A and B are shown apart, each in its own frame.
Chain A
């Protein structure tokens, strides 16, 4: 029966993954809020299936439509050029291949991971603040460093580039302050959802959607060529680096799939699109499904995702058997989701040009409706503030992922003991 729940969850995740702005944690919170709808076992394995299905299916939205989340923002930015050339199916194929590789890698690594990860956790647990903080430093300084990006530009454009850098820093700081506010004085403290969900929608999804509504870029008809044009070396590089980046995002506290996606781009430039997209698919699987599986890992049981928090509240019997069952269930759900993806990707490539004109409005309506309906005015207030911050890099052409400060900065400030002082100083 557990396998059946997972497969049902995977089917649900595949279908709901095509609906923008609806993360798994929100779906699960809605299901759990109805008494008697789900038993704890159904929640655990259905949730796993939802994650697996959505990890693959949401790639289609990221590739063809302009409705990214933090984890798929770079996917959308890279895929846009290919979609304009009619090669969207190829790009989504690379991403799907990376996701499938991620599932296989996790299965192969599981016997070693059970032995290595608890020791690794013991080793680095006292060092989280500077390890996560170093990612924050890189987030601030790293994306600004693009020697050669302005070679030959006239001085005026050169100065404009300097302003963009400043806007990137401003975005990081403001997003971090918003995250800190949500940690210390959350206006939605009674909500069963991830504290940062409305902020993430505002920072990452809505600014892109608004940009698309103001200045629409139509999706041209796509070629339905089945060839993927990827070398084994690119596939290997993508899987290795994607697995490592997504693994870091899953294993380190306070990080999200967006950080995994950004780490991928630190070594694999988007211009090497096949390897980059494979890595993004693999990273997404590690950062979402892998993070959830850490809850069941014997000797570890780490809570690293909002779904883990929800499920951990209703299910507490974590035995090694449950972990191995969940691995098997993930493999079957992954196979099912891959089959769905292979079936739906060509169909989606056909309908994407027709969906595009109203997809922005649908995302906008769903985001506002879901946040307003589930979290009320306080949720909408967070959404509006986050959207205003998220629009800064869009308007100035600064690095969008500077907004990942919403995750990184509060964690580092808290870990260093500065968070509470800053919150008091700001009157929170």
Chain B
């Protein structure tokens, strides 16, 4: 999926972690910025680290392998938890898991079990990561979930929550999901899919 989609979903997931939104403003911002960064980090690592690889293999042959692994995600989460506190650890874990889950739904697959298995698992092929409409829909849903969680913070906005959830998340998810299923072309073969074309 595209970088903006990953960041929005990571933020949505992070706002579900109990206690995050109740933090004082500066700390809350730091924790949620961490979620945004780790939400997009696996793709960034693919590109940045691969660019310094010394092997003569095709430069993107390792894409979505080690960087999209549960082992690496656990390592980052434990490190964040140890260095910045338990809450930060959970937020980083959720941000990374959201990224891995979204990518696993695509046709390319990810390296869930690297380094135990050195091949990417086959993707489920439910989502086409380059589909513009789908990315917009998922981004919209992520933003809707964030707003829903924010609405639960104060008594004045608490009553907004159900309408936000219904009109902002459930209805678009249903309508968009039905439309996407109806027009979705056959998934391309695994590993032939270029994942993103952010400018």
Residues of chain A touching chain B, judged by Cβ–Cβ distance below 8 Å, are 74, 119-120, 122-124, 126-127, 129-130, 133-134, 137-138, 141-148, 150-153, 155, 158-159, 161-162, 165, 237, 240-241, 244, 262-263, 265-272, 275, 399, 401, 415-417
Interfacial chain A residues near B60, Cβ < 8 Å: 147-148, 150-151
Give the interface size class of chain B.
35 or more
Report the Cα distance A51→B67, complex, angstroms: 46
User: Given A130-B33, A145-B47, are A267 and B4 also a contact pair (CB < 8 Å)?
Assistant: yes
Q: By the criterion CB–CB under 8 Å, are A399 and B199 in contact? A: yes
A109 to chain B, nearest CB (A): 15
Q: By the criterion CB–CB under 8 Å, are A124 and B36 in contact? A: no
Q: By the criterion CB–CB under 8 Å, are B199 and A265 in contact? A: yes
Report the Cα distance A126→B26, complex, angstroms: 10
Interfacial chain A residues near B7, Cβ < 8 Å: 134, 137-138, 142
User: Which one of B109-117, B118-126, B150-158 is at the A interface?
Assistant: B150-158
Q: By the criterion CB–CB under 8 Å, are B29 and A138 in contact? A: no
User: Given A123-B160, A147-B194, A147-B195, are A266 and B4 also a contact pair (CB < 8 Å)?
Assistant: yes
Q: A-facing mask of B82-117, CB < 8 A → 1, else 0? A: 000000000000000000000000000000000000
A147 to chain B, nearest CB (A): 5
Q: By the criterion CB–CB under 8 Å, are A416 and B3 in contact? A: no
Can you give 30 A-B contacts (C-beta < 8 A)?
A: A123-B160, A127-B28, A129-B29, A133-B29, A134-B11, A134-B32, A137-B7, A137-B40, A141-B37, A141-B41, A142-B4, A145-B3, A145-B40, A146-B198, A147-B43, A147-B196, A152-B59, A153-B59, A155-B54, A159-B51, A161-B51, A165-B47, A237-B132, A265-B198, A266-B3, A267-B135, A269-B197, A272-B132, A415-B29, A416-B26
Q: A-facing mask of B35-68, CB < 8 A → 1, else 0? A: 0110011011011101110101011100100000
Q: By the criterion CB–CB under 8 Å, are A269 and B26 in contact? A: no
Cβ < 8 Å to A, chain B residues 124-170: 132-133, 135-136, 139-140, 147, 150-151, 156-157, 160
Interfacial chain A residues near B136, Cβ < 8 Å: 237, 240-241, 267
Q: By the criterion CB–CB under 8 Å, are B4 and A263 in contact? A: yes
Q: 18 other contacts beyond A130-B33, A145-B47, A237-B136, with CB at 8 A cut-off?
A: A123-B151, A134-B32, A141-B44, A145-B46, A147-B43, A147-B60, A147-B194, A150-B60, A151-B60, A152-B58, A155-B54, A158-B50, A158-B59, A237-B133, A241-B136, A269-B199, A401-B199, A416-B30
User: Given A147-B46, A147-B63, A162-B52, are A270 and B40 also a contact pair (CB < 8 Å)?
Assistant: no
* Those 10 A-B pairs whose CB atoms lie nearest each other, nearest first: A148-B194, A162-B51, A142-B3, A134-B36, A130-B29, A130-B32, A266-B4, A265-B199, A129-B29, A137-B36
Contact partner, A144, options B5, B37, B47, B58, Cβ 8 Å: B47
Interface of B is mostly: helix
A130 to chain B, nearest CB (A): 4
A134 to chain B, nearest CB (A): 4
A380 to chain B, nearest CB (A): 32
B40 to chain A, nearest CB (A): 5
Interfacial chain A residues near B32, Cβ < 8 Å: 130, 133-134
Interfacial chain B residues near A275, Cβ < 8 Å: 132
Using CB atoms, name the residue of chain A closest to B193.
Answer: A148
Q: By the criterion CB–CB under 8 Å, are B157 and A165 in contact? A: no
A418 to chain B, nearest CB (A): 9
Using CB atoms, name the residue of chain A closest to B47.
Answer: A145
Interfacial chain A residues near B181, Cβ < 8 Å: none
Report the Cα distance A144→B197, complex, angstroms: 10
Report the Cα distance A124→B135, complex, angstroms: 23
Interfacial chain B residues near A267, Cβ < 8 Å: 2, 4-5, 132, 135-136, 139
Q: By the criterion CB–CB under 8 Å, are B44 and A266 in contact? A: no
Interfacial chain A residues near B157, Cβ < 8 Å: 119, 122-123
Report the Cα distance A161→B51, complex, angstroms: 7
Report the Cα distance A146→B28, complex, angstroms: 30
Report the Cα distance A145→B17, complex, angstroms: 27
User: Given A122-B157, A137-B40, are A146 and B59 also a contact pair (CB < 8 Å)?
Assistant: no
Interfacial chain B residues near A145, Cβ < 8 Å: 3, 40, 43-44, 46-47, 196, 198
Interfacial chain A residues near B52, Cβ < 8 Å: 159, 162
Q: By the criterion CB–CB under 8 Å, are A147 and B199 in contact? A: no
Report the Cα distance A142→B3, complex, angstroms: 6
Report the Cα distance A98→B150, complex, angstroms: 32
User: Given A133-B29, A266-B198, A416-B29, are A144 and B132 also a contact pair (CB < 8 Å)?
Assistant: no
